[in-house]
Amino acid sequence: MTLNSIKNALFATIHGMTREEYDLQKAQNELREVTDRFLVEHPEYLATVPAAPQTVSKTTIIKMLGAGADVFKPSDIDPEALERAKAVCRKMVADDPSRYGHIVRHQGV
The answer to whether the beta carbons of residues 62 and 69 sit under 8 Å apart is yes
| Rounded-to-integer distance, Cα 106 and Cα 36, Å | 54
- Is the pLDDT at 104 greater than 60? The verdict is no
Residues in Cβ contact with 30 at an 8 Å cutoff, skipping those fewer than 6 apart: none
Dihedral-angle region of residue 21 (phi above 0 means left; psi in -120 to 50 means alpha; beta otherwise): alpha
Q: Which amino acid, one-letter code, is at 80? A: E
* Domain ranges for the chain: 3-47, 76-109
pLDDT of residue 102: 67
Note whether 101 and 93 are within 8 A (CB).
yes
- pLDDT of res. 32: 93
Q: What is the mean pLDDT of residues 27-50?
A: 85
64 to each of 19, 51, 73, how far by Cα in Å? 56, 21, 18
